[in-house]
Amino acid sequence: MVYRRSIAIGVLFLVLSGLLSALIFRLSLGPCPTGTFSCDRGLLCVSQRQICDHRQDCVDGSDEHPVECGLLYGSKDMTNKIVTNAIKQKHRIPVTTNLTAVPFWHNNSKIQGKVLSPIEKNANRLIVKKMCKPEKISTYPEACVCRQHTLLYCGPNSNLTHIPMSGDKITNLIIMQNNLTLQQNAFSSYKNLRRLKLKYNNLTDIPLGLFHRLQALERLDIRHNSIAQLPKGIFRGLQAVQWLFLSSNGLKRIPINEMAIELPLLEWLVLSDNLLTLDNERFPRLNLLLELNLNDNLITYIHPKAFYGLHNIRDIRLVGNPLKYLSSHTFLSNQYLEALSLGYTPLQIHSSLLRHLNVSYLNLTGIPFGSIDFESINVMTNLKYIIYDRFYYCSMTPNVRMCRPISDGLSTFHDLLSKPVLRYSVWIMAFITITGNIMVLWGRFTYRDENVAVAMVIRNLAFADLLMGFYLLTIGILDYSYRDEYHRVALDWITSWQCVAVGILAVSSSEVSLLILAFMSLERFLLIADPFRSHHRISSKTILITLIIIWIMGIVLAVAPVILWQSSTKYYGTYSGICFPLHIQEPYPLGWQYSAFLFLGINLSLLLIITLLYIALLVSIWRTRKATPLALLEYEFAVKFFFIVLADILCWAPIIAMKIWVFFNYNISNDIYAWLVVFVLPLNSAINPLLYTFTTPKYRNQILSHNWKKIISRRREKSSRDTNTATGSSNLGSVQKFT
């Protein structure tokens, strides 16, 4: 086959590019990706968002370490409480014996003299297991497990519909992922119950009087159900409860006023992820309450005296509420408040709000730069830990001991490009892209025996790729210029028009390149699929006009977001200092609509069109190659263009996949973002020149033969000079001898 060598070279380039891409990605990773931490002896990497979220993600529990989490949130009292409970739990000896269950009842329906109803018989099927002491728990459902003598666990496979009747010896009852219906007297036999967990049980209603007999209960967890409302008097009988978790239920109202009387020992109240509004409600006097979690509700207004009764509160969380205003008196009476979370709210963090705060922990994640009064934060002498939306905000509060985040994956507090491998990649890719495309442009203008239309397209494609090289070169120069002091200029840079210009350069390059490939795919398909009409080949003038239109479209697509957000330059600098609007680290940032339109609308459509056209083209070649053999030049272009298109698809596929992935609320790690933008995106611009050159036999032979002729010519000249020199020396010696 004439082009077997070209195909082998193209495959070799793609394989090497893939291996290099994998190597760069691997080198960019630490023990754990940026934004995560290592646990379970380095076997697991957990996102920083999962630290101290009251949910154990690490097997060793290090993400919920009681001391570190207590220090993180600043609540010393809560830390002491958690540590004490952890120590008690550690000293308990778990029972690991797992003996075969023996049915307690066979053909009768009596248990300890009590006649069971048909529902109780079918739903509970009580048995005795030898791993529990008979004097502790003598009966419980077959699918449940008894642990630590007095703990009863009924998991997803229990298929319970009612609370089992298991006697008054149980102190810890856990029922998860069942379809429960609660009766008023469901817990009448659980007089010694201290901990009750009813998560993921599709509960829709809590009957009044359900907890009347649970006077020893200390912890109540009814998270992740569908309870829309709690009736008045529901907390009656819970005088001993210390922890109350009611999150993720869709709660719209809760009898807050009754808590002071019914829950006098309450220390921890979690009401997050509900539909609460609070309106003008005020929390009653709860002297022992240490933590109040109201995250992710529908709270738009909080009464200035809503927290006046919480004199000993240490931690208040209001993250994710549509809260537009907080009075300067809201936290005036909370003199012991140590941790305050206001992230992802449309609040203005003004001086009057911060004036009376003496917190050591402040969460302002998701609040834009212009909404924060940094001068007021700087005078908060007790503040030790603060979380912002972007790492460069930390430069505005240098006196705070711990500030997060420390990186966005690409940049850190000190450097535009955080890792050496990213810096080397930028410079190497810039050098290859610029050098390769300049050589292609030089070659296409030097060798004029090729099809004029094809040469015109290749030149424009090379020039578009050359712009990507200049973009990378600019980023590399800026990284070198801002080394070790990026935090001083980060905000000015990402909001500058220079950043916009760099972003427009990169987007124009990528869009023009894709549009040209789509145009050439269509042109090749029409030419090769119907060779009998090849005499109707598109004229050079038509191609020139089409290329002009493509360039106009590419530039318009790059400039349009600047016009749409004309009062802001943040579209290109939303995420990082490299100014490329990929927007894959969160689904709905500033300008996400246009980013989705560009990458998922236009680019994905172009890639699909290119792929389908080229598949149809290859099928057409396969069917008609014997009947109507193509010209040598057409085969040459088909092979070359195949590898160019394939390289482009392989580079864009992961970018579009990540863009789609983020809309399903999956977190894209910062390392993947850095790898995509710094290496994968410009890879096709760097590899295209090599594919132009070495997959084209004529161009390859011309370059190689031209260079080879130069080498041979130089060697001949040198050999001739050496011969002449030797001859001259010999003649001179003969003359001297004769003389």
* Residues of the chain above pLDDT 90, percent: 22
Tell me the per-residue pLDDT of 183-215, one tens digit each, with 9 for 90 and over: 888 888 888 899 999 999 999 989 988 888 888
First to last CA, the chain: 69
Q: Which amino acid is at 325?
A: Y
CATH at 392: 3.80.10.10
Q: Three-state SS across 416-450?
A: CCCCHHHHHHHHHHHHHHHHHHHHHHHHHHHCCCC
The pLDDT of residue 574 is 67
Q: Is the pLDDT of residue 63 over 70?
A: no
Is the residue at 88 inside a domain?
A: no
The pLDDT of residue 102 is 30
Cα dihedral across residues 572, 578, 582, 587: positive or negative:
negative
Regarding whether 516 and 641 lie in a shared domain, the answer is yes
Last residue of a domain, one of 406, 440, 468: 406
Q: Which has the closest alpha carbon to 268: 320, 211, 313?
A: 313
Last residue of a domain, one of 25, 59, 82: 82
Regarding whether 351 and 461 lie in a shared domain, the answer is no
Tell me the per-residue pLDDT of 500-540, one tens digit each, with 9 for 90 and over: 899 999 999 999 988 998 888 887 777 766 655 544 567 78
CATH at 551: 1.20.1070.10
Regarding whether 676 and 634 lie in a shared domain, the answer is yes
233 DSSP β-pair partners: none
Rounded to an integer, what distance in angstroms lies between the CA atom of residue 526 and that of residue 273? 57
- Which structural domain, as residue segments, surrounds residue 371? 276-406
Is the residue at 271 inside a domain?
A: no
Determine how many CB atoms are found less than 10 A away from the CB of residue 732: 10
Tokens in use for 517? 């490939």
What are φ and ψ of residue 421, in 5° steps?
A: -65, -30
For the chain, the farthest-separated pair of C-alpha atoms sits apart, in whole angstroms, at 143
User: How much of the chain is in helix, strand and coil states, percent to nearest 5?
Assistant: 50, 10, 45
Regarding whether 616 and 486 lie in a shared domain, the answer is yes
Regarding whether 387 and 478 lie in a shared domain, the answer is no
The pLDDT of residue 489 is 86
The pLDDT of residue 104 is 27
The pLDDT of residue 712 is 52
The pLDDT of residue 135 is 46
Regarding whether 518 and 430 lie in a shared domain, the answer is yes
Is the residue at 138 inside a domain?
A: no
Rounded to 10 degrees, what is the CA torsion of 411, 415, 419, 421?
A: 100
Question: How many domains is the chain partitioned into structurally?
Answer: 3
Specify burial of residue 228 (Cβ count, 10 A radius: 0-12, 13-18, 19+): middle
Regarding whether 551 and 462 lie in a shared domain, the answer is yes
Rounded to an integer, what distance in angstroms lies between the CA atom of residue 171 and that of residue 195? 6
The pLDDT of residue 62 is 63
The pLDDT of residue 170 is 86
Regarding whether 420 and 395 lie in a shared domain, the answer is no
Is the residue at 548 inside a domain?
A: yes
Regarding whether 420 and 375 lie in a shared domain, the answer is no
Regarding whether 439 and 422 lie in a shared domain, the answer is yes
| Distance, CA of 719 to chain centre | 65
Is the residue at 558 inside a domain?
A: yes
> Quick check: pTM over 0.95?
no
Regarding whether 495 and 435 lie in a shared domain, the answer is yes
Is the residue at 33 inside a domain?
A: no
* Residues of the chain above pLDDT 70, percent: 69
Q: Three-state SS across 286-330?
A: CCCCCEEECCCCCCCCCCCCCCCCCCCCCEEECCCCCCCCCCCCC
Cα dihedral across residues 28, 32, 36, 37: positive or negative:
negative
Is the residue at 373 inside a domain?
A: yes
Regarding whether 387 and 302 lie in a shared domain, the answer is yes
Is the residue at 296 inside a domain?
A: yes
Mean pLDDT of the chain: 76
DSSP letters for 507-575: HHHHHHHHHHHHHHHHHHHHHHH-GGGGGGPPPHHHHHHHHHHHHHHHHHHHHHHHHHTTT--HHHHSS
Tell me the per-residue pLDDT of 594-632, one tens digit each, with 9 for 90 and over: 888 888 889 889 888 888 887 887 777 666 655 555 555
From residue 105, alpha-carbon distances to 116, 135, 164 in Å are 11, 18, 15
Last residue of a domain, one of 406, 434, 450: 406
Residue 404 near residue 665 (C-beta atoms within 8 A): no
Tell me the per-residue pLDDT of 211-262, one tens digit each, with 9 for 90 and over: 888 889 999 999 999 998 898 899 988 999 999 999 999 999 899 988 989 9
